[in-house]
Amino acid sequence: MTAGFSVAIEQGEFDFPSTTLEKLLGHKPESVKEFLKAAYKL
């Protein structure tokens, strides 16, 4: 089963856009870079 998931991931089977996180947060997610800039006022 694990090998099957590995092959599927390698072939991009789970690589599709999703708006689930955006819907949960109520806004678009930000990148780590954007978050760190805001958090540390860089």
Distance CA 1, CA 3 (A): 5
The answer to whether the predicted template modeling score (pTM) of the entire model surpasses 0.75 is: no
> What is the phi/psi pair of residue 16, to 5°?
-145, 150
For 32, the domain range is 2-39
DSSP single-letter state for residue 26 = T
Average pLDDT rounded to a whole number, residues 36-41: 94
* pLDDT at residue number 30: 92
The total of structural domains in the chain comes to: 1
* pLDDT at residue number 1: 77
* Dihedral sign of CA atoms 37, 39, 41, 42 in order: negative
Residues 4-31: pLDDT tens digits? 899 999 999 988 888 999 999 999 989 9
